[in-house]
C-alpha cells in the first residue's frame, strides 16, 4: 500500500519522545505514516481588526495559533486636538463642546461631570469635535481569542507592528515574533518617534468622561471608522520601557529562510516589494500550503522586487491590505506632487509635506531633489525634521541587500544606494530633531521644502508649521500618505489660507493588479479576503467613467491552464483553474475542514535504511518489509532499528509480539511443493483435481493440503505437522 500501518505497541517516554513498534510495506522507497494517533485541526481564520487596510488576523493551522500582523489603528488620533510645541492661538481658542442638555442630564452624570465633559471636548469650525487630551490608539479586538494562546506572530512590514508592545507587554503573549531586519529597525524608529513626539507635549490627565457619551459627540473621524471603533477601548501610547522590552523579544529572519514551527510546518518570508524588508509569508507543511499576502507592490521603487514564485499554487491564500486609492496611479501622483511643489517654490512659497520618518519619504526626497536640479532651483533647501531623521537616513543606506539590484550594485562600488548622503554633503538636505533645535533656527531660510511628522497632523512639528505658514496662500500643504483622509485631518486647523493638496501616493497593489495575478500567476485553491474587496460598488459612477468591475473589486477570471503533454511535450488544455472565494466581515471568521491531513512524512535512519532489502516485483516496482521503532520528537517522525531492550520486554502471551519480518506473495509453485514433500520423507502424496485448485492427501501423516489460486489450507489435527507443512509451503512462495 501507499501508506504505512502504525501499531501503537509503545508508550510515551519521560522525555516526551514517543516510541512505537512500526511494521510497514515500503513501496518504491516512499514511506508515509498514517496520522491515526494524532488529531489534526482544520484551518481557521479570524479577523481582529476593523479595517481591511490595517490587518490583524489569527490563523489556526495544525493545532497552532499564528497571528498575522499586529497593527495599531492610528486613525483614532484624528479624534484628538493637535499637540503643538508652541502656543497656538487658533487651537487654544476653540470653544468647548456644548452637550445636548436634556440628553446629558438623562445619562446619570452629576452637574460637575457634565461640565468636565464639556471641557474635554472642543468644537472645530468645521462642526467636528476634537478631544483635548493626549491621543489614544485603537487596538485590535482582544476579546475574540485568548491572546495568551497565540504561539507565533509574523510581521509583514514595519507599518503592521505598532500593536506589538501592547501584545507582548500588557496582554500576556509569550510566543515568538518573527520580523525581517529592516522591519525591526524601521519599526523601532517609527514607534520611538511617536513616543517622543507625544511625550514632548504632555497634556493634563483627563477623566475621559466623554467616552461615556461618545455617541453624542461628532468625533473628527471617517464615518466608516466611527461605526466600528469604541473609544472606551482606545489606549494611550506605550512607554519607552515597554517598547524596549518588546523589541528584545523579536527574532530576525531573512528572505526565503525556513523557520520550523514546532515540527508541524515551516514559515518563510518572501519580498513583497512594498517597502524595505516588507514580505509576504508562506506557511507550508508536507501536504498543505498557506500564503498570507499583506501590502505588496509591483512598482520598481527602492525595495527588493516582489517575489511571485513562492506564492503560487497555495491551498489557501489570505489577501489583505490592498490600496486605499485603487483608481490613482502612483507615478502620476508623484508627478503631480513634484509639479505643485515646483510651482509653489517658483512663487516664493513654502511646501510642507507631512510624512513618516521611513518609507516613501526616501523616494519623495530623491524625486524632488532631481526636479529642483532640473529647473535650476538647487538653492532651495530641503529639511527633514524628526527625532529619528538622522537614524532613518543612515539605516536606509546600510541595508543594501534588501534593496533593488540597481541600488545593491551601488553598495559594492562603493556608493550610497540613495542620494541622501550626497545631498547632505552638498548642503541641499538638512536633517534636524525638532524646530526647537538651535541649529535649525540658524539654518532655516525660505522658500523651502520641509518633510516632517506626523501625517495625522495631530502631533509632531507639522502642527507648528501649519500654524506658521497656514495664513499665506503662497504656501502649500501636500498630504501624500493614504492612511489619513484629508478632510478630517485638517478640520481642527480651518480656516486655512495655504493651499492644500491631497495627493495620496500608495504603491500598494490595486484591484486590477490583484485580479490579474490571482487569476494567471498565483492560482490558489481558496482565497480568503475582506468582504469589502469582493463587493461591487453601490454607485455606477465609476463604471460610466470607463472603469470595469475588476478595477474596483476582486473578480477572478478563472482561466484554462495549458500544461505540457507527457508524450508529445506539446501544450494541451487541462481542466479550468478555479478559485473558491471566502469573504469575511469585521471580526468575522472562516473555517475550512478540507485541509485536514491524512498522511505525515517520516524519515528513516540512514544506518537502518542500509539494512532494508528490496524485492523487485516487476521492473520499476520494489517492495520491502521493515520492522522498526517509530520515534516522534517535536512532531518529526523517524524510523529507527528496534531497541533490543524493547524486544525483550515484549510479552507474546499478552498479544505483544514483533510483526512478521517478511510477507509472502505470488502464486504457489506446485511442482516445487511436491518435490519438497518428497525430500522431507513424505512419499505417499496423492493429488486430486478440484473445482477450486488441487487437493494433496498425505495419508502417512494424516493431513490434507487444499491449494487454491489465492490461498492454501492445511487440514490436520497435529500442530507440529501443520507447522512443518506451513514452512514447506512458505518456501515455495516469493517473499519481500
Question: Average pLDDT for residues 100-116, to the nearest whole number?
Answer: 57
Q: Is the per-residue pLDDT at 407 higher than 80?
A: no
What is the per-residue pLDDT across 296-316, written as a single tens digit (0 to 9) for each?
Answer: 998 877 788 899 999 999 999
More confident of the two residues 12 and 43:
43
Q: Is the per-residue pLDDT at 609 higher than 60?
A: yes
Claim to verify: residue 337 and residue 309 sit in the same structural domain = no
Angle, CA 483 vertex, CA 530 and CA 352 arms, to 5°: 165
More confident of the two residues 596 and 455:
455
Q: Is residue 525 part of a domain?
A: no
Q: Are strands 685-690 and 693-698 parallel, antiparallel or unpaired?
A: antiparallel
> Contact at 8 Å (CB) between 601 and 32?
yes
More confident of the two residues 560 and 441:
441
> Contact at 8 Å (CB) between 132 and 120?
yes
Q: Are strands 18-27 and 621-633 parallel, antiparallel or unpaired?
A: antiparallel
Claim to verify: residue 126 and residue 261 sit in the same structural domain = yes
Q: Which CATH number is 492's domain given? A: 3.40.50.10890
What is the per-residue pLDDT across 413-436, written as a single tens digit (0 to 9) for each?
Answer: 666 777 888 999 999 999 999 999
What is the per-residue pLDDT across 305-351, written as a single tens digit (0 to 9) for each?
Answer: 899 999 999 999 999 999 888 888 899 999 999 999 999 999 999 99
More confident of the two residues 8 and 424:
424
Claim to verify: residue 304 and residue 336 sit in the same structural domain = no
Claim to verify: residue 153 and residue 294 sit in the same structural domain = yes
Choosing from 300, 319, 338, the residue where a domain stops is: 319
Q: Mean pLDDT check: name the lowest of 207-221, 585-599, 626-640.
A: 585-599
At 459, the pLDDT band (50, 70, 90 cuts) reads very high
Q: Mean pLDDT check: name the lowest of 176-180, 486-490, 650-654.
A: 650-654
More confident of the two residues 714 and 536:
714
Q: Is residue 541 part of a domain?
A: no
Claim to verify: residue 289 and residue 182 sit in the same structural domain = yes
**What percent of the chain is modeled with pLDDT above 70?**
82
Q: Which CATH number is 678's domain given? A: 3.30.310
pTM of the model: 0.80
Question: Average pLDDT for residues 269-298, to the nearest whole number?
Answer: 93
- CA-only gyration radius of the chain, Å: 36
Q: Are strands 599-601 and 32-34 parallel, antiparallel or unpaired?
A: antiparallel
> Contact at 8 Å (CB) between 68 and 57?
yes
Q: Is residue 509 part of a domain?
A: no
Q: Is the dihedral of CA 160, 163, 165, 168 positive or negative?
A: negative
Claim to verify: residue 36 and residue 50 sit in the same structural domain = no
Residue 653: predicted pLDDT: 46
Claim to verify: residue 250 and residue 375 sit in the same structural domain = no
Q: Is residue 531 part of a domain?
A: no
Q: In whole angstroms, what is the distance from residue 641 CA to residue 506 CA?
A: 59
Q: In whole angstroms, what is the distance from residue 255 CA to residue 129 CA?
A: 45
Q: Are strands 560-564 and 571-576 parallel, antiparallel or unpaired?
A: antiparallel
Choosing from 285, 319, 353, the residue where a domain stops is: 319
Number of domains in the chain: 4
Claim to verify: residue 118 and residue 246 sit in the same structural domain = yes
Claim to verify: residue 226 and residue 300 sit in the same structural domain = yes
Q: Is the per-residue pLDDT at 102 higher than 60?
A: no
Q: By residue range, what is the domain housing residue 218? A: 44-319
Q: Is residue 554 part of a domain?
A: no
Claim to verify: residue 463 and residue 363 sit in the same structural domain = yes
Q: Is residue 557 part of a domain?
A: no
Q: Is residue 403 part of a domain?
A: yes
Residue 10: predicted pLDDT: 33
Claim to verify: residue 338 and residue 414 sit in the same structural domain = yes
Q: In whole angstroms, what is the distance from residue 706 CA to residue 190 CA?
A: 85
Q: In whole angstroms, what is the distance from residue 128 CA to residue 142 CA?
A: 29
At 545, the pLDDT band (50, 70, 90 cuts) reads low
**What percent of the chain is modeled with pLDDT above 90?**
45
Using DSSP, state whether 214 is helix, strand or coil. coil
Choosing from 319, 350, 376, the residue where a domain stops is: 319
Claim to verify: residue 29 and residue 89 sit in the same structural domain = no
**Nine-digit cell at 357?**
520618518
Q: Mean pLDDT check: name the lowest of 253-262, 376-385, 404-413, 570-579.
A: 570-579
Average pLDDT score over the chain: 83
More confident of the two residues 521 and 565:
521
Amino acid at each position: 500500500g501507499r501508506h504505512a500501518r502504525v501499531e501503537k505497541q509503545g508508550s510515551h517516554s519521560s522525555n516526551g519522545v514517543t516510541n512505537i513498534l512500526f511494521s510497514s510495506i515500503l513501496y518504491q522507497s516512499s514511506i508515509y505514516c498514517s496520522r491515526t494517533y494524532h488529531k489534526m485541526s482544520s484551518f481557521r481564520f479570524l479577523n481582529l481588526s476593523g479595517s481591511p487596510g490595517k490587518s490583524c488576523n489569527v490563523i489556526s493551522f495544525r493545532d497552532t495559533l499564528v497571528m498575522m500582523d499586529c497593527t495599531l489603528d492610528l486613525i483614532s488620533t484624528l479624534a484628538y486636538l493637535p499637540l503643538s510645541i508652541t502656543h497656538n492661538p487658533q487651537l487654544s481658542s476653540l470653544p468647548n463642546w456644548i452637550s445636548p442638555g436634556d440628553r446629558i442630564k438623562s445619562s446619570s452624570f452629576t452637574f460637575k461631570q457634565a461640565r468636565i465633559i464639556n471641557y474635554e471636548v472642543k468644537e472645530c469650525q468645521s462642526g467636528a469635535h476634537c478631544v483635548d487630551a493626549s491621543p489614544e490608539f485603537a487596538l485590535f479586538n482582544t476579546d475574540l481569542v485568548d491572546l495568551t494562546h497565540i504561539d507565533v506572530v509574523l510581521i509583514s512590514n514595519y507599518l503592521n507592528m505598532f500593536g506589538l508592545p501592547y501584545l507582548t507587554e500588557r496582554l500576556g503573549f509569550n510566543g515568538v515574533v518573527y520580523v525581517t531586519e529592516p522591519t525591526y529597525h524601521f519599526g523601532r524608529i517609527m514607534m520611538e518617534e511617536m513616543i517622543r513626539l507625544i511625550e514632548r507635549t504632555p497634556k493634563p490627565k483627563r477623566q475621559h468622561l466623554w467616552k461615556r457619551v461618545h455617541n453624542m459627540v461628532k468625533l473628527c473621524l471617517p464615518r466608516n471608522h466611527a461605526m466600528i471603533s469604541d473609544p472606551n477601548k482606545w489606549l494611550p501610547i506605550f512607554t519607552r520601557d515597554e517598547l524596549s522590552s518588546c523589541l528584545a523579544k523579536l527574532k530576525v529572519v531573512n528572505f526565503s529562510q525556513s523557520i520550523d514551527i514546532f515540527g508541524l510546518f515551516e514559515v518563510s518570508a518572501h519580498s513583497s516589494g512594498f517597502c524595505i524588508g516588507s514580505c509576504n509569508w508562506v506557511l507550508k507543511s508536507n501536504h498543505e500550503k498557506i500564503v498570507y499576502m499583506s501590502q505588496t507592490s509591483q512598482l520598481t521603487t527602492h525595495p527588493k522586487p516582489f517575489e511571485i514564485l513562492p506564492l503560487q499554487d497555495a491551498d489557501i491564500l489570505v489577501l489583505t491590505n490592498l490600496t486605499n486609492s485603487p483608481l490613482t496611479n502612483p507615478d502620476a501622483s508623484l508627478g503631480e506632487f513634484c509639479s505643485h511643489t515646483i510651482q509653489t517654490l517658483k512663487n516664493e512659497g513654502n511646501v510642507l509635506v507631512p510624512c513618516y520618518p521611513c518609507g516613501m519619504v526616501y523616494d519623495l526626497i530623491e524625486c524632488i531633489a532631481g526636479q529642483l536640479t532640473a529647473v535650476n532651483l538647487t538653492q532651495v533647501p530641503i529639511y527633514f525634521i524628526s527625532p529619528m531623521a538622522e537614524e532613518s537616513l543612515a539605516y536606509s543606506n546600510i541595508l543594501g541587500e534588501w534593496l533593488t539590484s540597481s541600488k545593491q550594485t551601488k553598495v559594492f562600488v562603493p556608493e550610497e544606494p540613495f542620494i541622501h548622503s550626497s545631498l547632505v554633503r552638498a548642503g541641499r538636505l538638512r536633517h534636524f530633531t525638532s524646530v526647537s533645535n538651535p541649529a535649525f533656527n540658524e539654518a532655516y531660510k525660505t522658500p523651502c521644502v520641509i518633510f516632517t511628522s506626523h501625517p495625522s497632523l495631530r502631533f509632531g512639528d507639522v502642527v507648528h508649521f501649519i500654524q506658521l505658514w497656514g495664513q499665506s496662500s503662497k504656501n502649500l500643504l501636500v498630504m501624500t500618505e493614504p492612511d489619513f483622509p484629508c478632510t478630517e485631518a485638517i478640520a481642527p486647523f480651518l480656516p486655512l489660507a495655504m493651499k492644500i493638496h491631497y495627493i495620496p501616493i500608495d504603491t500598494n497593489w490595486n484591484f486590477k493588479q490583484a485580479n490579474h495575478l490571482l487569476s494567471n500567476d498565483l492560482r490558489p485553491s481558496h482565497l480568503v479576503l475582506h468582504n469589502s474587496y469582493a463587493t461591487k460598488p453601490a454607485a455606477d459612477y465609476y463604471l460610466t467613467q470607463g472603469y470595469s468591475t475588476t478595477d474596483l473589486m476582486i473578480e477572478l477570471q478563472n482561466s484554462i491552464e495549458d500544461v505540457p503533454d507527457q508524450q508529445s511535450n506539446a501544450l494541451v488544455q487541462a481542466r479550468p483553474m478555479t478559485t473558491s472565494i471566502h469573504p469575511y466581515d469585521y471580526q468575522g471568521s472562516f473555517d475550512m475542514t478540507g485541509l485536514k491531513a491524512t498522511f505525515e512524512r517520516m524519515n528513516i535512519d540512514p544506518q537502518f535504511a542500509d539494512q532494508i532489502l528490496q524485492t523487485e516485483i516487476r521492473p520499476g516496482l520494489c517492495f520491502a518489509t521493515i520492522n522498526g521503532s517509530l520515534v516522534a520528537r517535536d512532531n518529526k517522525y523517524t524510523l529507527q532499528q528496534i531497541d533490543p531492550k524493547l524486544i525483550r520486554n515484549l510479552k507474546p502471551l499478552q498479544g505483544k509480539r514483533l510483526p512478521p519480518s517478511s510477507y509472502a506473495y505470488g502464486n504457489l509453485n506446485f511442482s516445487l511443493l511436491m518435490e519438497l514433500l518428497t525430500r522431507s520423507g513424505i512419499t505417499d502424496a496423492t493429488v486430486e483435481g478440484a473445482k477450486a485448485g488441487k487437493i494433496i492427501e498425505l495419508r502417512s501423516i494424516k493431513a490434507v493440503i487444499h491449494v487454491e489460486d489465492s490461498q492454501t489450507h492445511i487440514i490436520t489435527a497435529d500442530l507440529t505437522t501443520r507447522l512443518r507443512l506451513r514452512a514447506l509451503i512458505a518456501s515455495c512462495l516469493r517473499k519481500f
